[in-house]
Amino acid sequence: MEADFVIVGSGSAGSAMAYRLSEDGKYSVAVIEFGGTDIGPFIQMPAALSFPMNMSTYDWGFASEPEPHLGGRRLVTPRGKVIGGSSSINGMVYVRGHAHDFDHWAESGATGWSYADVLPYFKRMENSHGGEAGWRGTDGPLNVQRGQRDNPLFHAFVEAGREAGFEVTDDYNGSKQEGFGAMEQTIYQGRRWSTANAYLRPALKRKNVNLVNGFARRVIIENQRAVGVEITRRGKTEIIRARREVIIAASSINSPKLLMLSGIGPAAHLQENGIQVVADRPGVGQNLQDHMEVYIQQESLKPITLNSKLGLFSKAMIGAEWLFFKSGHGATNHFESAAFVRSKPGIDYPDIQYHFLPAAIRYDGKAAAKGHGFQAHVGPMRSKSRGSVTLRSSDPLEKPKILFNYMSHPDDWTDFRHAVRLTREIFAQAALDPYRGREISPGSHVQSDEEIDDFLREHAESAFHPCGTCKMGAANDRTAVVDPQCRVIGIEGLRVADSSIFPRVTNGNLNAPSIMTGEKAADHILGRDPLPRSNQEPWINPRWQVSDR
CB contact at 8 A, 401 and 275: no
Answer for the pair 275, 467: CB distance below 8 angstroms, yes or no: no
Helices (H), 283-431: 312-325, 410-427
Phi/psi region, residue 223 (left: phi>0; alpha: psi -120 to 50; beta: rest), is: left
Q: N- to C-terminal Cα distance for the chain?
A: 58
Residue ranges at the known binding site for FAD: 4-33, 82, 90-93
Select from 446, 404, 407 the least CA-distant residue to 423.
446
The one-letter amino acid code at 233 reads R
Q: Are strands 236-248 and 279-280 parallel, antiparallel or unpaired?
A: unpaired
User: In angstroms, what CA-CA distances link 405 with 64, 268, 280?
Assistant: 9, 21, 24
DSSP 55-70: -TTTB--EEPPPBGGG
CB-based burial label for 49 (10 Å; 0-12, 13-18, 19+): buried
Radius of gyration of the chain (CA): 22
The Cα 72–Cα 458 span in angstroms is: 10
Please say if 465 is a catalytic residue: yes
Q: Are 170 and 181 in contact (CB under 8 A)?
A: yes
Q: How far is CA 283 from the centre of its chain?
A: 21
**Active-site pick, 291, 372, 465, 524:** 465
Query: Is 119 in contact with 177 (CB distance < 8 Å)?
Result: no
Q: 539 with 350: CB under 8 angstroms?
A: no
Annotated binding site, which residues? 4-33, 82, 90-93
The strand pair at 236-248 and 2-8 is best described as: parallel
Rounded CA separation 104/18 (Å): 28
The β-bridge relationship of strands 337-341 and 264-265 is: unpaired
Q: Report the DSSP pairing between strands 264-265 and 292-300.
A: unpaired
Catalytic residues: 465
